[in-house]
Amino acid sequence: MIVEYVRYQVAEDRAADFEAAYARAAGSLAAAPQCLDYELTRCVEAPDQYILRITWTSADDHTVGFRSGPHFGAFFAEVKPYFTDIQEMRHYERTAVVG
């Protein structure tokens, strides 16, 4: 299991459209067997900052399986307008420190 974090900076006048695009794209994530769960959060102190967290079965299942599978096209079509708003996109392994 691997966790992907995508950090966005989205101008306030585009925020509603951004959230709506991810609400639509969520259907593709939910349908993909490689995706275990996902969450889009918005910063309280800096409302133009968002973090998308996606848990994948593995990094390869994300970068190869999902991206070459039947659900990626619809997902990417929704989020592509916000690609340039990405500040960071990385995969992380969980550690033993949990609560």
Q: Which fold has domain 2-92?
A: Alpha-Beta Plaits (3.30.70)
**Spatial separation of the C-alpha atoms in residues 52 and 78, rounded to whole Å:** 14
User: Where does the chain have alpha helices with state H?
Assistant: 15-31, 59-60, 72-79
Residue 67 burial (CB count, 10 A): 14
Whole-prediction pTM = 0.94
φ and ψ at residue 69, rounded to 5 degrees: -90, 180
Q: What is the pairing mode between strands 49-56 and 86-92? A: unpaired
Supply the DSSP symbol for 44: S
pLDDT of residue 79: 98
pLDDT, tens digit, for every residue of 10-40?
Answer: 999 999 999 999 999 999 999 999 999 999 9
